Amino acid sequence: MRFFLLVLGYAASMAGSNLLFKVAAGKSGIGWWLWFLAGNLAGFGCPVLMTWALREDSPHLVYAFTLGSGFVLLQLVAWWWFKAPVTGLQLGGLALTVVGLVMLQLGRA
């Protein structure tokens, strides 16, 4: 359960920071700096949570779960929040990523 929460926290931190950077990209002046700072603060959880997750499990699983889940969450939230166009083929690739993560979980010794 602890490992799952660390992975979930990492995914939220990664997705949150990248979404804030996207908002910053559309700003200028002090607004850019504030959104950029917010993105960096949100992203601070990534190295902290990954380090704690590495205490729980082997590196190949930690990297796969943290980066994979962060990627999937970021894609889904960007699609919803920014109304980014997504094709069926892209959704299929995202689904395959999720299937790969599930297979890694099921194959754990």
How many of the other CB atoms lie within 10 Å of CB of 61?
A: 18
**Which amino acid is located at 63 in the chain?**
Y
Say what the pTM is: 0.85
Please give the structure tokens belonging to residue 28: 């200028």
CB-based contact 62:105 (threshold 8 Å) = no
pLDDT tens profile 24-60? 999 999 999 999 999 999 999 999 999 999 999 889 8
Please give the structure tokens belonging to residue 23: 């908002």
pLDDT tens profile 2-13? 999 999 999 999
Task: Look at residue 109 in the predicted model and tell me its pLDDT.
Answer: 61
Q: Is residue 108 very low, low, confident or very high in pLDDT (cuts 50, 70, 90)?
A: confident
82: helix, coil or strand? coil
With 90 as the cut, is the pLDDT of residue 107 above it?
A: no
CB-based contact 13:49 (threshold 8 Å) = yes
